[in-house]
Structure formats: C-alpha cells, structure tokens
C-alpha cells in the first residue's frame, strides 16, 4: 500500500525488463519517480546504472532468452528488496526478415525474447505477486493486433503475449493479482532508430504500419503503463490497451 505523500508507488517493488533503454527505461524512471524501488533488467550495465543509480534501486544484467536467467532475476529482486509487487515485461526485439528466409534460430529467438521471457518471468514472480496482490503489465505491440510485413516471428510472439495476458487474467481472476497488456505503436527508441530492413523490401507494405501523427515519445507510453501499475487501475484486469497515436483507428 502506498505511503501518503511519498508517491503513489511508495512501498512497492517493481521488476522492469528492458530498463537500459527505450520504453523500459522510461517505465523504470516513471515508477522510481513515483516512489517504487525498481529492480531493472537489461543487457547494458552502464545504462542500467545511469537509469537506476541510487541506493533505492538495483539492477541486473541478464539474457532473458534463458529461462534460468528469468528465475534468477526474480530471486535476486526478492533477495534485495524482500518481494515483488509489480512486473513490467518491457524487453523485446524486432528484426524484419523475409519469412521464407527466416532460420530456425532466428524464429526461436523472436519467440524467446518476446514471448517466452514474459512467461518465465511471470511464472517465477507469481508466488510473490499473489501474496502481495501485485500486478503484471506485458508490453505487446500493435503487431500483436494486426499483421506486419517481414515480421512473422515478431507478430506471432506479440499475438501470443496478448493471449498469455488474457489466459492469466482469467486463471487468476478473483485472486487479487491484475494482469494487463499495452500495445504501443512506433516510438522514438533505439530499437527503431537502429532498425534495418530486409533486402529488396516492398516499402509500401512497411508503411502500412505508419500513422499520420508520427512516432511517440516512450514517456507517453510509460505514463499508461504506470497507470496500469497503480491503484488508480484497481478495476482494470485482463485489458489490452492500445497506445499507438491512432494507428489502429485506420
């Protein structure tokens, strides 16, 4: 329960993946700014330290494609802070490829980071979240709601993540825990800024994912995620929030 006057997340412990950059970084800063103790997870220790530096927070470098590493993240957070109240699965990766040229390893990696990791982290955190009446927010994508060219693995994983969100919400209905998902559109993140296209793409197909309102700042999406993590969203469970600058209205 929040401490009056100390921020709406005071007394709460949050695990945020992908916290070294982009949306995960924005979420980590938002929750920490609201008084939460944030346990950030990413691949870049220097950026994690920059984002979460200070005794009230902690971080861990981890490869979340490894199920054992997901369990170790939750265990490390509990060892450091005594529990977990919030899990935000923000880590992800998107590489465009021609479907017919996608290798077995590339397909497996798409699912491992975008779908398997949220499952393994959620499974590891469930005992804590059920005991402490916590919440999970899964970062899916508008690619989980529509098809996108050259993105078979990413779309399959994000569609699956929405299914995972709804399945867990139903299974744990009435148990105190809340499980929701957010589906962002394009954001000004390193993932997009460093994006590469497959050889000889049809750019008309790629531009079907664009919106006239342009790209969003990750902080705009982080605000919605922070709401879903807060007591203001006590009645929001099993929801899939689209935050996409109007893309899905087309």
Q: Is 118 exposed, middle or buried (CB count within 10 Å of its CB: 0-12, 13-18, 19+)?
A: buried
203 given a catalytic annotation: no
State the chain's maximal CA–CA distance in angstroms. Answer: 57
Contact between 214 and 245 (Cβ < 8 Å): yes
DSSP 34-75: TT-EEEEEES-HHHHHHHH-STT-EEEE--TTSHHHHHHHHH
Q: Is 103 exposed, middle or buried (CB count within 10 Å of its CB: 0-12, 13-18, 19+)?
A: exposed
Pick the catalytic residue from 150, 154, 203, 241.
154
Q: How far apart are the first and last CA of the chain?
A: 41
3-state secondary structure 87-142: EEECCCCCCCCCHHHCCHHHHHHHHHHHHHHHHHHHHHHHHHHHHHCCEEEEECCH
Tell me which residues are annotated as active site.
154
């Amino acid at each position: 329960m929040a401490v009056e006057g100390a921020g709406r997340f005071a007394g709460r412990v949050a695990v945020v993946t992908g916290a070294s950059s982009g949306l995960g970084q924005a979420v980590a800063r938002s929750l920490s700014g609201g008084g939460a103790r944030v346990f950030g997870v990413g691949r870049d220790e220097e950026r994690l330290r920059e984002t979460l530096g200070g005794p009230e927070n902690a971080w861990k470098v981890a490869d979340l494609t490894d199920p054992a590493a997901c369990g170790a993240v939750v265990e490390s957070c509990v060892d450091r802070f005594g529990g977990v109240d919030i899990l935000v699965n923000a880590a992800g990766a998107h590489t465009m490829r021609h479907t017919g040229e996608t290798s077995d390893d590339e397909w497996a990696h798409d699912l491992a980071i975008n779908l398997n990791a949220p499952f393994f982290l959620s499974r590891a955190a469930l005992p804590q979240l059920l005991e402490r009446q916590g919440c999970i927010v899964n970062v899916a994508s508008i690619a989980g709601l529509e098809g996108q060219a050259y993105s078979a693995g990413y779309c399959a994983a994000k569609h699956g993540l929405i299914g995972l969100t709804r399945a867990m919400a139903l299974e744990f209905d009435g148990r105190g825990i809340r499980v929701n998902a957010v589906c962002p559109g394009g954001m000004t993140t390193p993932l997009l800024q460093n994006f590469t296209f497959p050889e000889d793409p049809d750019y008309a197909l790629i531009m079907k994912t664009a919106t006239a309102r342009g790209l969003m700042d990750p902080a705009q999406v982080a605000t919605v995620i922070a709401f879903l993590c807060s007591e203001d969203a006590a009645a929001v469970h099993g929801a899939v929030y689209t935050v996409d600058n109007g893309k899905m209205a087309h």
